[in-house]
Structure 1
């Protein structure tokens, strides 16, 4: 049963039965009858009614079926399973998805758009996080390309780093393998991951030149990276220094902050320890009660106490001198007895005895990092094992002695009792035991707190000093004053530094770096290990000196690798500005790629590599949980597209995955699961149904030959062009703001309100029952084609497969043409005509009053009388119906009534049982210059006309006769 929905201001909807489809042929079942004339009545063959419609029986049922222009299209209502998957792949092939990026790069375009692709990590299979990121980028790129801009988008991969090395080696480890062997295995692993990810991205419909990607292990890329390194080094921003870094004993390398994850459930053995004052601060030396005083410190890392060099205090904080309670005083349930307060600044000049190292003394020093939030306000300071501690050491020239080896055990500097013990386990236990032995341990407790872990091995890290290459940009950073850019691994870009065999002095300058960069460009970075050192050294260094040097063994931090991508991908791309329009990545890249890109670009070029940033959330389960294989809530994008095991994992295809991305609020964490995917599929199905209706009613229509000029159109058709233009503006704005979710909301509102519930319900009679070439029908088809074109283009960035499929069935273009090569929505400012909006919306206000008078009733069974005093509103309604009474006027069509009578006042012979209603409508023209509030009255009476057996409108003279409109059409056909 086809049903038409009429909208009303009261929010109710009147269902108007239109026709019942034949179970045999899918056409309209029409009550059999013959055309009638004024001199002869005709007798039908049916009798009775079914659901308010005449019963369908007898041989005359299909008499007028062929004269009714029902929708016809080969566009399928639904595609599921393998047919859906095959169709998407066929669309990609037929519509040239693989060549689209190259095509748009070759065309002339005034404006350019550059989205620089942050490199995904080549260490595993594609996942929904990849889908969220890549599809979000592709939606914007396709939109910009449709707008006529030349899109610059080079996909890339981050190929170095410890996770790849560990996965490539598996259980083998690095034992017995040369750097080149390790690198070969890591490269093979990364190449396999890249191939799988690239194939997935292509299947998702991501537009790119997939043969011209960038890879951080490519020689050309590495050469560009070393050029950045050289520029930074020549400016003095990169140098070698002995500083504390986050060190991972489990990985055997230094880590950047972005390579840490903080475990909030880490448990430490925290201690309160006493440091006896051997030299009282001069300002309180004469104070009574200061005999045998100790300072009390609190630390969650007791293992660092052997490396203590000072105790820090806050000068403006208030401290207390207390006395430890003896046994007789403990009845007061107090551990300490308060003696007197003390300002922190009075502690200046005090010296303490180290609790575990005999004869060692450490000073009391002021420091800004001391807080009173936790602990005692007196901070044990070990410069080798703390970032703030190191800053204090730099200020006061304290020793920085590292007592911890790379494997996380104490070295010989810690003394024989501690040497070879793991600092985080038995070494920590031993230090606490030593504090007990020297009576310096006041209290021990378990402390649950956040602690940094190696994000790869999931093991705790330590802070220890190491001789590393660091990048310093003090004026830019508030929290981190330097960035350790060297790593102690084999799989990465070798740092082009040589060391003198005897002195250990580093050899690194513009000549050595430039020479190595050129070698990397020609041969790849494996040549660092393959070539003799005589070849690696540049001509500027005497050949005889080669034997005095050895090559360095460290590689660059992978964040430096990826952070230099602007130099390898963007430099030289644009004539004036080599910045990307936008970087788009997940929120984890705020301290990662976004930052490393910014730091390197500002250091070299004094400008950011991007004009704007878009930060999206993570993909999580439908319960909002992080996805985990152990929990079993991981959503595999391959299973989403191709289906999995059983009916609970149907094949959704790529467009459903893309709709999920577009519909989500990507600026927060995005949930995905069966409900979200099923909802996306249903939304696409509803959209597909609308597109099928549009295509079906455009069968045989060629807009290039049969389109009607807007000035000749019915007012409601012109009005729809006006609404379509507003729709296109809203959609364009939403895409421009990276808000595909708003695009979908605008789309669905347009389809539901403006099309399905309003326009489609009104025009079906004109579409189906007017003469095929009539002005009214062609007017309607012209608008439907514009709507089809506008809606199809508006969804194309999100649903490229379905958009191209619709375009293959749509009229008005050559068969070989594809949608993505034909531009954006072609709305026109000509569509907005003065008075048009007021005329149609004024009629809609009257229609709302009419429908609210007959709730739940069929509007087509009633005659409507509209009375409006002379004025603007009456003139506007006259433009929709020139004659006083009509069954075929634009006003009658809009009202969907049997007949509309238009007058300046109610007739005197009005049926006393007529339903009366009143209302007002405010006319606002020329920006408020013309304003008029007009009153109107309506009277609703059941129509006395009979229903036409062809069009089913109540406009016939008798039950078995055609209405005048249908009689004319049928007679002309014969």
Structure 2
């Protein structure tokens, strides 16, 4: 700034005023700059003149150089390419970056700080997400070290799971490979990814015990997992059951909720379908004649589940009405508060014939719309809502979590009509067999509803739908015989433990508590080759699981000998 001021007459006058104001306090730098300005004004403005005569080369530059005090350094002005990398490595080596963790572990400290590392997947090269994770943790560890605490930080890697198996096999898939070959390829891939990621983390200067990292495919780690399995099984916390789970046809395996991502722009063919009443509840039977033409109206975004329907559910405390179309006298049973929206949808007025409490629907039986001679009951359920639809919910226990709960309570059959590839199986009938339920199978069911005059209305529905977060393809809910953890039993203890945890931000605590209330079981088994096995043998003929309190540990010993 001073140099710029020196180059203008206005700047010279400004410096003169500043110099006069600063005479009492000295002002050496301004004095020199003022001298420089005066010299230029007296000796000429040309870069090569002194007293109007040509000056020696650099004389005016020398005046500037002598009048401005700048710091001096031996650092080069700029480093690029390999020189920059070499210089950073030199700094790391000379400053003992690699020895910092061991040094602080050896010093005496009254307090300790342990950071538990949530491990990254060993399924690829290091990226900006790794950098954000590791550098933020490193900042916290170094802060605690500066506070005088002894830091304990052992990094690790999650070496199992579908992401690693998919990347290790690539386009080959599992075709022609035995489980042992798949495991070998997956392990080699994971080891390569670990080596690259670990080298990057060390290169970033992350302070950690890099000589004692943990890996989930280590024998000792797997043995600890099997020991926990044995302890939980002995307490009745782990069980095998046939119940609905999130199933990924694109991956061919069951998924936990943590492995899902919800697509908010998924488009479904939502339908309004009729279930004619064949056995009338008392309140409807008492209506003035023509009661036999009443149909229960249901709404669903998954028409492909209609063939697996076993009941229609209602809310016991809600109000329901029998309404009649003024254009053709059809009668429907719907929730009272949904009447106006349904009339707008149909484009006709609906005349209310009678209104009553949902509990009076008990005992009603409907005709299944696509399966001749099949009848399904009207049943109470608390999961029925009035936000969308008709207030009456089509219930397929094989393809819904809440539906399965209703089936368990009322002893309904759970028939799975969908295979592991996401296609209808032989139980769905010849018309549907081998059709994908999310595409042509769904279209076929809608066509069947039209043929039997059970389709009242169809609409496009944009809503949030679960996808496999690895393959980015839709998942379905289908029953499968899997191993589960009984989280309902652990819920109270988990809530009690959560109250002792400091949650940041505090508002997140309520969502954690809600999650604990909502999840009554957790599926822990997968249909893959790369992972810690469920330590169970099965009877060859009956399929019964063979397991006791010590069996998991014996199995691990056998597995470790085979490796």
TM-score, normalised to structure 1's length? 0.45
CA distance in 1, matches of 2:561, 2:242: 98
CA distance in 2, matches of 1:73, 1:402: 77
CA distance in 2, matches of 1:94, 1:19: 47
Structural RMSD (CA): 12.1
Distance 1:16 1:51, change over 3 A: farther
**Residues 613-641 of structure 1, C-alpha deviation per residue, up to 9 Å, x if partnerless?**
xxxxxxxxxxxxxxxxxxxxxxxxxxxxx
Q: 2:355 is paired with a residue of what secondary structure?
A: strand
Compute the displacement of 1:230 (Å): 2.0
Compute the displacement of 1:241 (Å): 0.9
Compute the displacement of 1:183 (Å): 0.7
**Residues 93-119 of structure 1, C-alpha deviation per residue, up to 9 Å, x if partnerless?**
111212221222222221111111111
Distance 1:7 1:410, change over 3 A: farther
**Residues 766-814 of structure 1, C-alpha deviation per residue, up to 9 Å, x if partnerless?**
xxxxxxxxxxxxxxxxxxxxxxxxxxxxxxxxxxxxxxxxxxxxxxxxx
Compute the displacement of 1:242 (Å): 1.0
Compute the displacement of 1:377 (Å): 0.7
**Residues 18-44 of structure 1, C-alpha deviation per residue, up to 9 Å, x if partnerless?**
999999999999999999999999999
Count residues with an aligned counterpart: 505
Distance 1:49 1:116, change over 3 A: farther
Distance 1:14 1:406, change over 3 A: farther
Question: Does the aligned pair in 2 maintain the 1:21–1:27 contact within 8 Å?
Answer: no
Question: Does the aligned pair in 2 maintain the 1:385–1:464 contact within 8 Å?
Answer: yes
CA distance in 1, matches of 2:143, 2:448: 68
CA distance in 1, matches of 2:392, 2:468: 29
Tell me which residue corresponds to 1:134. Answer: 134
CA distance in 2, matches of 1:395, 1:423: 27
Work out which of the residue numbers 332, 352, 369 in structure 2 matches 1:338. 352
Compute the displacement of 1:222 (Å): 1.2
Compute the displacement of 1:465 (Å): 0.7
CA distance in 1, matches of 2:140, 2:441: 55
Q: 1:449 is paired with a residue of what secondary structure?
A: strand
Summarize the alignment of residues 511-910 of structure 1 with structure 2, pairs less than 5 Å apart.
Answer: none
Tell me which residue corresponds to 1:208. Answer: 208
Distance 1:32 1:242, change over 3 A: closer
Comparing 93-102 and 316-325, the one that deviates more = 316-325
CA distance in 1, matches of 2:5, 2:156: 51
Compute the displacement of 1:234 (Å): 2.0
Question: Does the aligned pair in 2 maintain the 1:275–1:352 contact within 8 Å?
Answer: yes
CA distance in 2, matches of 1:36, 1:473: 70
Distance 1:411 1:56, change over 3 A: same
CA distance in 1, matches of 2:560, 2:437: 101
Q: 1:320 is paired with a residue of what secondary structure?
A: strand
CA distance in 2, matches of 1:307, 1:406: 16
Give unpaired runs (5+ residues) of structure 1.
331-335, 508-967
Compute the displacement of 1:412 (Å): 2.0
Distance 1:134 1:43, change over 3 A: closer
Question: Does the aligned pair in 2 maintain the 1:99–1:209 contact within 8 Å?
Answer: no
Compute the displacement of 1:504 (Å): 1.9
CA distance in 2, matches of 1:140, 1:322: 65
Compute the displacement of 1:417 (Å): 2.3
Compute the displacement of 1:346 (Å): 2.0
Q: 1:94 is paired with a residue of what secondary structure?
A: helix
Give unpaired runs (5+ residues) of structure 2.
332-349, 483-510, 547-556
Q: 1:474 is paired with a residue of what secondary structure?
A: helix
Distance 1:452 1:97, change over 3 A: same
Question: Does the aligned pair in 2 maintain the 1:155–1:214 contact within 8 Å?
Answer: yes
Compute the displacement of 1:300 (Å): 0.9
Question: Does the aligned pair in 1 maintain the 2:422–2:437 contact within 8 Å?
Answer: yes
Question: Does the aligned pair in 2 maintain the 1:97–1:205 contact within 8 Å?
Answer: yes
Distance 1:270 1:14, change over 3 A: farther
Compute the displacement of 1:15 (Å): 8.0
Compute the displacement of 1:149 (Å): 1.4
Distance 1:68 1:164, change over 3 A: closer
Q: Which has the larger radius of gyration?
A: 1
Compute the displacement of 1:301 (Å): 0.8
Q: 1:297 is paired with a residue of what secondary structure?
A: strand
Tell me which residue corresponds to 2:372. Answer: 358
Q: 2:182 is paired with a residue of what secondary structure?
A: helix
Compute the displacement of 1:90 (Å): 0.6
TM-score, normalised to structure 2's length? 0.76
Q: 2:60 is paired with a residue of what secondary structure?
A: coil
CA distance in 1, matches of 2:325, 2:64: 108
Distance 1:376 1:40, change over 3 A: closer
Question: Does the aligned pair in 1 maintain the 2:2–2:33 contact within 8 Å?
Answer: no
Distance 1:287 1:44, change over 3 A: closer
Compute the displacement of 1:166 (Å): 1.4
Q: 1:284 is paired with a residue of what secondary structure?
A: helix
CA distance in 1, matches of 2:26, 2:156: 52
CA distance in 1, matches of 2:59, 2:303: 99
Tell me which residue corresponds to 1:119. Answer: 119
Distance 1:24 1:60, change over 3 A: farther
Question: Does the aligned pair in 1 maintain the 2:16–2:34 contact within 8 Å?
Answer: no
Compute the displacement of 1:491 (Å): 0.6
Q: 1:315 is paired with a residue of what secondary structure?
A: coil
CA distance in 1, matches of 2:152, 2:51: 60
**Residues 307-364 of structure 1, C-alpha deviation per residue, up to 9 Å, x if partnerless?**
111101112222221223446999xxxxx44333333222122111111122221111
Question: Does the aligned pair in 1 maintain the 2:283–2:361 contact within 8 Å?
Answer: yes
